[in-house]
Structure 1
Amino acid sequence: MSDETASVANSPRLVGVRCESGGGVRPYSCGALELQPGDQVVVETERGSALGTVVRSDLLRPVEAGAKLGRVIKKADGRDLAREDANLRRQREAQRIALHRIRERGLAMKLISVECSFDGGKISFYFCAEGRVDFRDLVRDLAHTLHTRIEMKQIGARDETRFIGGIAACGRELCCASWLTEFEAISVKMAKDQGLSLNPTKLAGMCGRLKCCLRFEYLTYRELGRRLPAIGSAVACVKGDGVVTHQDVLKQTVKIRHQDGSETEASLEELVERKAQP
């Protein structure tokens, strides 16, 4: 048995759950519970308990030592579903009141989403703003009106798009709204190394930031690119010596310009040796 197979075998049983409060599909430990896609469950998250829907029941992935993993508490019953319905009504009312109070106070903030904790003990308000916003009076007002603990969270453009959702240029649901669990750093270099157009409008997602998918195949392109001679390097080839002018990373070929100005495409196997730069 390989180390990877053993790691998966020793990991807890996992299911993929999408919480009703939004966000991507996250893995949860389900213990001995037998769950199927479509089952509604109560899960334990970093922010407390929440209602969610099982999307996948066959997750196979090793869990790193010390990794924080939520767990499925139980299958949701009628009382849980009734509580969630009440929470949704409370969220809508809280959003209506908050929007009115924000306009009334002239606060430079855009309310994006409202989330009521499953136990009803806290309501979280997610907003965008150009700079810092003094919302202390707003919090006191909302706490007095809604009779619960209030949490205000300022979010960025990527989180705003995750909350709102939408369809990406590829025709599929936005990755951030469907399955991504966290945002990672993206750079223009990732697009450059994959040979993509550096047109900002094509590289930007709906959030206005670089598309998350630029990272998905980056490591593969980088490793394959390292096998090829660099552009500008002199090479010896069975088709004739020359200088590399272009790399095709996926095909693992290069274009070589010969002394007479002609160009040929050659695979790695056709490169006899790599000459040192003159």
Structure 2
Amino acid sequence: MTEVIGVRFKNVGKIYYFDPADIDFAAGDHVIVETSRGVECGEVVMPPREVDDDCIVQPLKCVLRAATMEDLQRVQENMRKEKEAFRICLKKIAEHGLGMKLIDVEYTFDNNKVLFYFTADGRVDFRELVKDLASVFRTRIELRQIGVRDEAKMLGGLGVCGKPFCCSTFLGDFQPVSIKMAKEQGLSLNPTKISGTCGRLMCCLKFEEEAYEDLLRTTPRAGSPVYTPEGRGTVEDVHLLTGQLKIRLDKDPEAPAKSFHKSVVKPVKNGDARPDRPEKKRHNREKT
């Protein structure tokens, strides 16, 4: 076990572990740390705690110091400079006639690098653009192509549910999402109905999947034979969230299917062909 703190560099970004260096940081504090991109200022979102060594990416770097008022002022100044850099880069992209969409600009804390995030349909030759930007900003320039999900996370917006994007409010990392999840949750397989604003499958399919998997383990599937308080029948429709089942009874197959809750229904085991078998067993035990 190792003591760490969790630091985040963006509002809903990934949490990185650092050695607190025996300093008692609290959530909300700002710290100066060294990262692969250089010295950065981040916010403590997880106070000191013990975590398994397997959860740590070695080598674990120490916090350099707590952020001072001057450090926070520099962060604010960098944010102002990012807006100006965004405007300049847009102009340069138009001058070079490049088919790319600028999404965001980010200054590193020590101003040693400026990162430009963009999207494009394919590969873009931006070598001349980099030279042009380097001559303007006189620092290291990095252009990074991102996907549509990252674009949605950076820009934010409202999803089809009418609420802010999950990725821009609380999802730190993107998780793989598959069409199989939509099938298990009984959703329409129409791409326009299960896709987010970014055009990819909705992230909420993933973080609701565990609950649906648990419900599927405890709920009879459509087409399976079951015992009900009114006799044996076949499940025709399932509502996973409420646990209500529509069952057509064997004794009256022409009648409309009846609704039962899964708590009063028992599945038919293999080889259990007679609907009165459980009752007979219980009757025999009473006689003996």
User: 1:7 — aligned with what?
Assistant: none
User: 2:9 — aligned with what?
Assistant: 19
**Do the aligned partners of residues 70 and 225 (structure 1) sit closer, same or farther apart at CA in structure 2, a change above 3 Å counting?**
farther
Runs of 4+ in structure 1 off by over 6 angstroms are: none
CA shift, 1:135, in A, is 0.5
* Structure with max Cα Rg: 2
Distance 1:164 1:62 in 2: 33
CA shift, 1:65, in A, is 0.6
Q: Secondary structure at the match of 1:114?
A: strand
From 29, 38, 41, the equivalent of 1:51 is 41
1:180 has 2:171 as partner: yes
Distance 1:201 1:81 in 2: 43
**Do the aligned partners of residues 183 and 245 (structure 1) sit closer, same or farther apart at CA in structure 2, a change above 3 Å counting?**
same
1:65 has 2:54 as partner: yes
1:36 has 2:3 as partner: no
CA shift, 1:27, in A, is 4.8
User: 2:256 — aligned with what?
Assistant: 262
Which deviations, in whole Å up to 9, do the C-alpha atoms of 1:166-200 show, x marking residues without a partner? 34455554221233232121123212212234454
User: 1:92 — aligned with what?
Assistant: 83
CA shift, 1:53, in A, is 2.9
Letter in 1 for 2:9: C
Letter in 2 for 1:228: T
**Do the aligned partners of residues 55 and 272 (structure 1) sit closer, same or farther apart at CA in structure 2, a change above 3 Å counting?**
closer
8 Å contact kept, 1:117–1:123:
yes
8 Å contact kept, 1:111–1:127:
yes
Q: How do residues 45-194 of structure 1 correspond to structure 2 at under 5 angstroms?
A: 45-55=35-45, 57=47, 62-63=51-52, 65=54, 67-68=56-57, 72-170=63-161, 172-194=163-185
User: 1:274 — aligned with what?
Assistant: 269
User: 2:281 — aligned with what?
Assistant: none
Distance 2:140 2:187 in 1: 48
Distance 1:86 1:66 in 2: 35
Which deviations, in whole Å up to 9, do the C-alpha atoms of 1:208-229 show, x marking residues without a partner? 2221111112022123203333
8 Å contact kept, 1:25–1:178:
no
Which deviations, in whole Å up to 9, do the C-alpha atoms of 1:108-159 show, x marking residues without a partner? 1110011111121111110011111111111111122221111111111110
Q: Secondary structure at the match of 2:78?
A: helix
1:246 has 2:237 as partner: yes
TM value normalised by structure 1: 0.81
Which deviations, in whole Å up to 9, do the C-alpha atoms of 1:221-262 show, x marking residues without a partner? 123203333211223333222211122333445321122333
User: 2:279 — aligned with what?
Assistant: none
8 Å contact kept, 1:256–1:266:
no
Distance 1:159 1:115 in 2: 14
Give 5+ residue unaligned stretches, structure 1.
1-9
User: 1:220 — aligned with what?
Assistant: 211
Q: Secondary structure at the match of 1:178?
A: coil
Letter in 1 for 2:138: H
Distance 2:62 2:159 in 1: 31
8 Å contact kept, 1:110–1:128:
yes
**Which moves more between the two structures, 110-119 or 216-225?**
216-225
Q: Secondary structure at the match of 2:74?
A: helix
**Do the aligned partners of residues 130 and 276 (structure 1) sit closer, same or farther apart at CA in structure 2, a change above 3 Å counting?**
farther
Which deviations, in whole Å up to 9, do the C-alpha atoms of 1:17-39 show, x marking residues without a partner? 4425x542625345233333432
Give 5+ residue unaligned stretches, structure 2.
274-288
* Identity between Structure 1 and Structure 2 (%): 42
Distance 1:276 1:46 in 2: 63
Distance 2:224 2:271 in 1: 8
TM value normalised by structure 2: 0.79
Q: CA RMSD in A?
A: 3.0
